[in-house]
Structures are given as structure tokens and as C-alpha cells.
Amino acid sequence: MPKTLLAPSILSCDLLRLEAQVAAVERAGADWLHVDIMDGHFVPALSFGPKLVETLRRLTSLPLDVHLMVEDPDRWVEPFIAAGAGGVSFHLEACRHPRRLLRHIRSLGARAGLALNPATPADSLRYLTPELDLVVVMSVDPGFAAQPFLPETLPKLSAVRAGLDAAAGARTACLVEVDGGVGPANAKALVAAGASVLVAGNSIFGQTDPGAALVALRQAAR
Ligand code: DX5
Ligand code: ZN
């Protein structure tokens, strides 16, 4: 079984201690850093811009996994890739021509990801599978850290994984990421249901020792 990737979410880190907290999770074995971009329209909150991605790029060599929760993703793909994002995911619910944007992300040399809100069916990926490097299955309604995990996500993860594996032309390497309410209590079940990347905000940076919390999540995911 391939290694499960762990992606601590910067949204929950203490920005006053950004450098130390990033170093702590990197030392503890984080695989990616997840960076949530919120525009106050697609989701109620505002978060970061490309400047933070540029700063993170200077602080760490970990791949930066940018999650765009924005109304107009077409406008933001290039600035975030220029700032150092290794992958960019945008929401299907926010994009009229997802195939075009997925291809554009790949053409810029980044991992192309598509995020699905909890109420968007797994089946909506059906005609897009060859374009996907990553699917982000939201397990909370996006917008805030530390929300409770929605249990209906478990069967949805399995359906997404099965759909990707069955689709002709789909990249077998396409990763399935789960985002929202992930922690040691549900990690094992999420991996068993088909998750290959676990995003974790509160369960890592919300803890007094983020490095130890990452190690605990790694053990729980086994
Ligand atoms: C939620 C964001 C998540 C968030 C997860 O809208 O997309 O990435 O940081 O935080 P936790 O792990 O605390 O639910
Ligand atoms: Zn996210």
C-alpha cells in the first residue's frame, strides 16, 4: 500500500511562530503543507494571498498544496503557481469550465486538483478523470478550521476512489485527499476508504506540540 501523505494545514498555525511551527512539522515527517485560500465570497472567511505562499516557499522545501476556496479560480491559478505552489486545487462548484482550468494548471507544471463540497456527488468527476492529479473530498463545509467531520464522507471517499480506478484514461496515480475534521480518531478509516492524502489543521497546529501531533496522526493512519 502506498504511503499516506500528511498535509498539515497552515490555516490553524500560529502565524507569530510560523517558521518554528513549519520546521516542527517538517522535522516530524510532514509530506506537504496545505494552504487554504479564502476570498470572503465562495466561503464566508478571508485568509491568505500569494505572499504567504512565497514566504512558505522560502521557509521549507515541502511541496505547497494550495486549496483555492474562491469564486473566480481562473484568476488565481497563475499567481499562486508563480509564488511557489506545487499543486493547486479549485472547487468544481466555483468553475464553469473545469477541464480547461485543470489543463491550464498542468501546463504550468503544477499538480491539478479539483475539490468537491460535501454535497457534490462523487459522480460529478466522471467526465474529468483524465485531467485530474488530485481530488479533494471536503469532509466539512469549507470555510473554517476545527469543524466536526461529516460521516457521509467515508462512503463518498470510496466512491471517488472506485470511480477513478474504473475510469478509462484516468491517471492511476491520481491522489484522493480528504480535508476537514481529520484526526487520529478517524485517520485509519479514511485511509481504508481510499484517502491517500490527509489534511489536518486543528489536530496538528491546534495542539501544543504540532510535531508530536503529526507523529500521532501518522501512527493512527497505519
Ligand atoms: C476548511 C479548510 C481546511 C481546514 C481544515 O475549509 O479547507 O483545509 O484547514 O482544518 P481542520 O483540520 O481543523 O478541520
Ligand atoms: Zn483546505
- Ligand 2 centroid–CA 136 distance in Å is 8
Give residue 168 CA to ligand 1 midpoint distance, Å: 32
Catalytic residue among 31, 65, 133, 179: 179
User: Which residue's alpha carbon is at the smallest distance from atom 6 of ligand 1?
Assistant: 142
- Bridge partners (DSSP) listed for residue 182: none
How much is the pLDDT for 52? 98
State the distance between the two ends of the chain, measured CA to CA, in whole angstroms.
10
Inter-CA distances, 61 with 64, 76, 129, 138, 189, Å: 9, 22, 29, 26, 30
Report the C-alpha gap between 165 and 19 in whole angstroms: 39
Q: Which residues surround ligand 2, an ion (CB under 5 A)?
A: 36, 67, 179
66 lines ligand 1 (CB under 6 A): no
CA-139 nearest atom, ligand 1: 14
pLDDT at position 98: 98
196 neighbors 155 (Cβ within 8 angstroms):
no
- The pLDDT, as a whole number, for residue 171 is 60
Q: What is the pLDDT of residue 173?
A: 87
Contacts of 108 (CB under 8 A, 6+ apart): 77, 78, 81
Active site residue 179: yes
* Spans of the chain below 50 pLDDT: none
Question: CB-hemisphere CA count at 13 Å for 102?
Answer: 20
Q: Which residue type sits at 129?
A: T
